[in-house]
């Protein structure tokens, strides 16, 4: 008879409580699948008195995460407190140094300290599993690390933040304001404690940094990710995208290019017919382009207690099975250093929305400036506000939106052309520029 796997859980919030419940509920199946019983023997959380709706009888309480991590009865330390630093970091280090395995859902901590922790895991023989850190229930880490171990990945991209996708979906479908949608995302428990972390793209950047390391064998480097959030997206961009056959999503994209690996997070126009464009609400999706195979898209719940607990328990099951995968797919010493790819050298199609002077020659001036930079226009739309020709009515021009879609070009060409257009004084305000990602 194999000894049970003894688990200690630090953090009993929504996810921690759900993990305790799931281990209890799935006990027989887990033991059949792993060949061992899995038992929660110790926990720790800020409040012992809080009502959690779970049965903690027979489970001992540790004073703090460090005490739990050092508890000699425990084989697997599960960190579900969150936060990129203390007390999670020291507790995980202590657990790994004593040869225990660690399971965590903490993307911020893995993004910042993942390499150091992976080295400790290698040195002391424990596992360091973090499937829940990216896309919650979607098994994307396993897919990259194990399922595609024999495939050369060219690009991995996706919707990695439920809050942003929820906001963009509701803004598009219900014509609601950004603020209203954000409030609902917070109420439903999708958003981070500080929602700017979601809407400014940093949550996506941390998840992308983890995926890029696994996909390309590079050192995890959050600083190498270019980041732009969704707060500049206006309802008119969502409407224009719809009319032009696109949808706006906050994407994290990591791609091999001739100039190195580009890692970027920004609002992106994706063709309405693409798999990623169909992903609505809090749902996450990741597409992986591998050499010689058609793209693989994984879609599923990327946030919430049950979805996150599902991945955490799967990671615990791997520990029970005795699997000690290299946390980033290969020994830390074999991961290559990576640097930030300069965005001005990024190449792709662009959506540009300008508020232009409604006078003869304006569109020609804009087209000329783009042509000077060798930018080819796929489509150009000029609209009068509410379909009214303001110049004819007032005898003077009010700015009207001009929307352009370009063929593939470089980002510095786009910015040079727009600077020239601004110098020509045919537009007012700042141009809106959104990158296009083709499937």
Residue whose CB is less far from ligand HSE, 34 or 310: 310
* Sign of the Cα pseudo-torsion (34, 39, 42, 43, in order): positive
Q: Which residues bind ligand HSE (CB under 6 A)?
A: 161-163, 190-192, 198, 203, 302-303
Q: How far is the CB of 218 from ligand HSE (least distance, A)?
A: 22
Residue whose CB is less far from ligand HSE, 8 or 162: 162
- Characterize the bridge pairing of strands 153-159 and 283-290: antiparallel
Q: How far is the CB of 419 from ligand HSE (least distance, A)?
A: 35
Torsion of CA 414, 417, 418, 422, to 10 degrees: 170
Q: How far is the CB of 318 from ligand HSE (least distance, A)?
A: 21
Q: Which of 164, 266, 163, 154 is nearest to 212 (CA)?
A: 154
- d(C-alpha 134, C-alpha 268), whole Å: 20
Residue whose CB is less far from ligand HSE, 161 or 213: 161
Q: How far is the CB of 203 from ligand HSE (least distance, A)?
A: 5
Q: Which of 5, 29, 87 is nearest to 310 (CA)?
A: 29
Catalytic (active site) residue 51: no
- d(C-alpha 26, C-alpha 313), whole Å: 10
Give the position of tokens 């296009």: 436
Q: How far is the CB of 307 from ligand HSE (least distance, A)?
A: 9
Among the options 142, 207, 249, 425, which is catalytic? 207
The answer to whether 436 and 405 are in contact (CB under 8 A) is yes
Q: How far is the CB of 190 from ligand HSE (least distance, A)?
A: 4
Q: Which of 293, 311, 294 is nearest to 302 (CA)?
A: 311
Q: How far is the CB of 153 from ligand HSE (least distance, A)?
A: 22
Residue whose CB is less far from ligand HSE, 82 or 399: 82
- As beta bridge partners, residue 10 has 44, 79
Residue whose CB is less far from ligand HSE, 162 or 329: 162
Residues sharing a CB contact under 8 Å with residue 333, sequence separation 6 or more, in sequence order: none
Q: How far is the CB of 75 from ligand HSE (least distance, A)?
A: 27
- d(C-alpha 262, C-alpha 369), whole Å: 28
Residue whose CB is less far from ligand HSE, 303 or 402: 303
Residue whose CB is less far from ligand HSE, 163 or 432: 163
User: Which are the catalytic amino acids?
Assistant: 207
């Amino acid at each position: 008879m194999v000894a049970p796997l003894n688990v200690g859980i630090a953090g009993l919030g929504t996810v921690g409580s759900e993990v305790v419940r799931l281990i209890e509920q799935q006990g027989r199946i887990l033991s059949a699948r792993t060949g061992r019983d899995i038992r929660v023997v110790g926990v720790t959380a800020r409040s012992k008195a809080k009502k959690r709706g779970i049965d903690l009888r027979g489970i001992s309480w540790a004073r703090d995460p460090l005490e739990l991590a050092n508890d000699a009865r425990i084989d697997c330390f599960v960190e579900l407190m969150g936060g990129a630093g203390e007390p999670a970091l020291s507790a995980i280090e202590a657990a790994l140094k004593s040869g225990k395995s660690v399971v965590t859902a903490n993307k911020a901590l893995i993004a910042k300290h993942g390499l150091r922790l992976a080295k400790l895991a290698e040195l002391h023989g424990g596992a360091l599993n973090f499937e829940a850190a990216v896309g919650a229930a979607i098994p994307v880490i396993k897919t990259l690390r194990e399922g595609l171990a024999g495939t050369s990945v060219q690009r991995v991209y996706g919707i990695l933040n439920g809050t942003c996708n929820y906001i963009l979906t509701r803004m598009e479908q219900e014509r609601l304001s950004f603020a209203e949608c954000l409030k609902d995302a917070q109420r439903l428990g999708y958003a981070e404690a500080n929602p700017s972390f979601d809407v400014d793209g940093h949550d996506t950047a941390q998840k992308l940094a983890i995926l890029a390391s696994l996909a390309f064998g590079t050192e995890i480097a959050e600083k190498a990710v270019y980041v732009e959030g969704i707060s500049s997206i206006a309802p008119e961009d969502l409407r224009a995208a719809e009319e032009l056959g696109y949808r706006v999503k906050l994407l994290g994209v990591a791609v091999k290019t001739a100039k190195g690996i580009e890692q970027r997070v920004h609002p992106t126009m994706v063709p309405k017919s693409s798999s990623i464009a169909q992903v609505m609400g809090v749902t996450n999706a990741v597409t992986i382009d591998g050499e010689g195979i058609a793209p693989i898209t994984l879609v599923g719940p990327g946030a919430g207690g049950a979805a996150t607990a599902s991945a955490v328990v799967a990671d615990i099951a791997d520990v029970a099975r005795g699997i000690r995968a290299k946390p980033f797919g290969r020994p830390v010493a074999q991961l290559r250093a990576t640097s930030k790819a300069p965005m001005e050298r990024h190449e792709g199609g662009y959506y540009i929305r300008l508020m232009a002077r409604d006078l003869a020659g304006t569109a020609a001036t804009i087209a000329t400036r783009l042509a000077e930079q060798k930018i080819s226009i796929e489509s150009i739309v000029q609209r009068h506000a509410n379909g009214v020709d303001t110049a004819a009515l007032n005898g003077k021009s009010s700015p009207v939106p001009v929307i352009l879609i370009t063929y593939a070009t470089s980002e510095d060409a786009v910015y040079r052309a727009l600077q020239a257009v601004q110098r020509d004084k045919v537009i007012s305000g700042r141009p809106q520029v959104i990158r296009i990602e083709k499937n």
